[in-house]
Chain A
Amino acid sequence: MSEDISKLEHIASQVRRDIVRMVHACQSGHPGGSLGCTDYFVALYFNIMKRKAGFDMDGIGEDIFFLSNGHISPVFYSTLARAGYFEVSELATFRKINSRLQGHPTTHEGLPGVRVASGSLGQGLSVAIGAARAKKLNQDNHLVYVLMGDGEQQEGQIWEAAMYAPHNKVDNLIATIDYNGQQIDGATEDVLSLGNLKAKWDAFGWDVLEMNGNAMSEVVAGLSEAKSRTGKGKPVLILMKTEMGNGVDFMMGSHKWHGVAPNDEQLAAALAQLEETLGDY
């Protein structure tokens, strides 16, 4: 187990390097949330999900993932590339003209690994529920994962979906909230308080667990626990505590790096803290 964790940590270090390099190269994008969710993405794609080789849109016979808070596309793209969905060299095209790696993820340019466009917030949970219901109709005994932001919980559609899934016993679904307490304009507590998120999701009828999202062993354990709770009549929700900017000291703990790119010196300072483990793209 510890050997597995250390392998995942190696991958995560490279993904974090990819994120800051991608955002620096185009001088735009969202490094903060991407860095905070890196351990989750790496654990999911390299340990937790049962994935087929290659990519097809329907994803029958495998676990599938949706990113609802599409602005953390850098971590999604890096993870997909490192997991073999496309060449890592393509990460250099992020947010540039004629790229498949749009600012926010899309199916429109045919990037393998992406199953729906996201960016306009609040929509991913509904899509994931639909995909989970399709899996049940197809008697496909695999799981659907979806990641949402915590600021995104302010969107009304989230709560339509939150009400729907328990009523319909969508129990092949594991939704995760990136609970970093930050959004563009500041702390969620100051912008629009989320209140007691755990109590809210509990009250809606979800099986809720809490997890530290910035320690690989705890992420793997938490996701494994979530998997064990599927198939029992309730959808599963993970409240994942993360730190925005995790892994780069000067980006941590503030909303200021939500959507700001590092300059040359800041990039060098960030890369000095992140070991190159798999080779830069």
Chain B
Amino acid sequence: MKKYTYTDKKDTRSGFGAGLLEVGRKNENVVALCADLVGSLKMNDFIKEFPDRFFQVGIAEANMMGIAAGLTIGGKIPYTGTFANFSTGRVYDQIRQSIAYSGKNVKICASHAGLTLGEDGATHQILEDIGLMKMLPGMTVINPCDYNQTKAATIAIADHDGPVYLRFGRPVVPIFTDPDQKFEIGKAWMVNEGKDVSIFATGHLVWEAIQAGEQLAEMGIDAEIINIHTIKPLDEEAVLKSVAKTGCVVTAEEHNRLGGLGDSIAQLLARNTPTPQEYVAVDDSFGESGTPAQLMEKYGLNAANIIAAAQRVIKRK
């Protein structure tokens, strides 16, 4: 098992804030909008440097999505910022008609995704957003795994012509990816090569998968770990190549079992090479209040769950 270490921990939303500032400097067409959550989205540095390119819309997310669509007409590249719940479920029809169906170049940037939002509870913990967004034709869906990857993704999506959903979160998590990485949309990252089981993980679950991989190695199980940061378009080649070698799959995500990364992979495998698969995901339920670590444990989303899933699926080969 390849060794991953970290010296620093940060929240992925801060990676977004840093990336937004950098892409704002590189590309003068980049503009940003926020629905009264500037501090939570870490947009202050961008606003300070580019006050004329920032639009505070107040607590009016539907209007924000419409204004973002309109800003593209005239060549702007709008980045909208609010919590994942208010970025997707609340404004689904606005995204569907004014952005996705209209082919608008809007970057929907969503913080506080999943259970790790913590104490605010289920009203704010959306676990359906990946599914909602990936079902929209033409929408790119990205869920990076740490500060560096989120920063790199935030910068990279400006060069992609089309709507993007960029999902990140609130908790402070290890930084273990390369600070100078080049983020390639739709290109999976090989975290660790192995032969016994393929673990496909996204977002905060990638670090958990690495922890699981180390413990599996001690048990004599050689896990291949692949970071699927782009859920749509899925890197089908990387998935099929890995499965051809291992013959079984664990998917890991901070999302409902229905409609997320696991289902995208299951569909790919069903169409090509039916393969035993175990899901590490929320089992079709809402979340609740608690600390992020408590919630990840209670809802079965940590390294221990990935290890158990790997052991189960290997037996099904």
Binding site for B on A (CB under 8 A): 57-60, 64, 106-108, 115-120, 122-135, 137-138, 140, 156-157, 160-161, 163-164, 168
Given A137-B52, A160-B60: A106 touches B101 (CB 8 Å cut-off): yes
- A164 and B58 in contact, given A106-B101, A127-B98 (Cβ under 8 angstroms): yes
Provide the residues of chain B in CB contact with A134, threshold 8 Å. 70-76
State whether A164 touches B74 (Cβ < 8 A).
Answer: no
Nearest to A66 among chain B residues (CB) is B70
Q: Using a CB–CB distance below 8 Å, which chain B residues touch chain A?
A: 31, 52-53, 55, 57-58, 60, 62-76, 78, 93-94, 96-98, 101-104
- Let me know if B52 and A127 touch, CB within 8 A: no
Q: Assuming the A-B contacts A108-B103, A126-B65, A130-B67, are A137 and B53 also in contact, with contact meaning beta carbons closer than 8 angstroms in the complex?
A: yes
Q: How far is the CA of A18 from the CA of B70 in the complex (A)?
A: 30
9 inter-chain pairs at a CB distance below 8 angstroms, sorted by A residue, are: A64-B73, A108-B101, A115-B73, A123-B97, A126-B65, A126-B70, A127-B70, A127-B73, A157-B62
- The residue that B98 contacts in the complex, of A116, A138, A168, with Cβ under 8 A, is A116
Across the interface, A133 reaches (CB within 8 A) one of B67, B101, B103, namely: B67
CB distance from A62 to the nearest CB of B (A): 11
Tell me how far the C-beta of B314 lies from the nearest C-beta in chain A, rounded to whole angstroms. 46
A160/B101 in contact, CB under 8 A:
no
Known contacts A133-B55, A161-B66; A126 and B98 CB within 8 A of each other: yes
Cα-based distance from A146 to B310 in the complex (angstroms): 56
In angstroms, Cα B98 to Cα A161, docked, is: 14
Given contacts A107-B102, A123-B94, A131-B74, contact A163 B66 (CB under 8 A): no
A118: which of B52, B57, B73, B97 is its contact (CB, 8 Å)? Answer: B97
Which residues in A have their C-beta under 8 angstroms from that of B102?
106-108, 116-117
A137 & B66 in contact (Cβ 8 Å cutoff):
no
Determine the main DSSP class of B at the interface with A: helix
B29 to chain A, nearest CB (A): 9
| Closest A residue to B98 using CB positions | A123
Closest residue of A by beta carbon distance from B67? A130
Inter-subunit contact A123/B75 (CB<8 Å): no
Nearest-CB residue, chain A, relative to B33: A130
Indicate if the CB atoms of A131 and B53 lie closer than 8 Å.
no
Which of these, A58, A119, A132, A161, contacts B75 with CB under 8 Å?
A58
Q: Lowest 10 CB-CB distances: which A-B pairs, in order?
A: A130-B70, A126-B66, A134-B74, A160-B63, A160-B60, A130-B67, A131-B70, A127-B70, A157-B62, A130-B71
Chain B residues, Cβ within 8 Å of A168 = 55
Bound together, the chains give a CA A126 to CA B31 distance in angstroms of: 16
- Chain A residues with CB under 8 Å of B72's CB are 130, 134
Tell me the complex Cα distance, A245–B14, Å: 56
Bound complex: CA A59 to CA B71 (Å): 12
- A137 & B97 in contact (Cβ 8 Å cutoff): no
Give Cα A122–Cα B69 distance, bound, in whole angstroms.
14
Which of chain B's residues have a CB closer than 8 A to the CB of A117?
Answer: 97-98, 101-102
Q: How far is the CA of A128 from the CA of B68 in the complex (A)?
A: 10
Contact A157/B97 with A64-B73, A116-B102, A138-B74 known, Cβ cut-off 8 Å: no
Q: Once the chains are docked, how many angstroms separate the CA of A57 from the CA of B102?
A: 11
Do A130 and B73 have beta carbons less than 8 Å apart? yes
C-alpha spacing A128/B71, complex, angstroms: 9
Which residue of chain B lies nearest to A131 when distances are taken between CB atoms in the complex? Answer: B70
